[in-house]
Amino acid sequence: MKEKVIQVVSRVMGVQVAELDEDSSPDTIPAWDSLKHMNLVLALEEDLGIQFSDTQIIEMSSIGLILEILKEIKQ
Partner 1 sequence: MYNAYIVGKNIYLRHPTEEDVLGKWHEWFSDDETTKYIGDRYWPNSKEAQYDFYKSSIGGRSRLLLSIIDNATEKHIGTCSLSNISWLHRYCDMALVIGEKDFRSGSYAFECCSLLLKTAFLRLNMKTVRGGCVCVNKYTEKLLKVLRFETVGIYKEMFWVDGKYQDYVISMIKQEDWLGRNGYTPKPK
55 touches partner 1 (CB under 8 A): yes
Residue 33: CB atoms within 10 Å: 12
Query: Is residue 43 within 8 Å of 8, Cβ to Cβ?
Result: yes
CA 55/CA 26 separation, integer angstroms: 18
| Interface mask toward partner 1 for 9-48; x: CB under 8 A | -----------------x------xxx-xxx-xx------
51 touches partner 1 (CB under 8 A): yes
CA 56/CA 30 separation, integer angstroms: 22
Nearer to partner 1, 3 or 74 (CB): 74
Applying CB under 8 A, which residues contact partner 1?
A: 26, 33-35, 37-39, 41-42, 51, 53-55, 57-59, 61
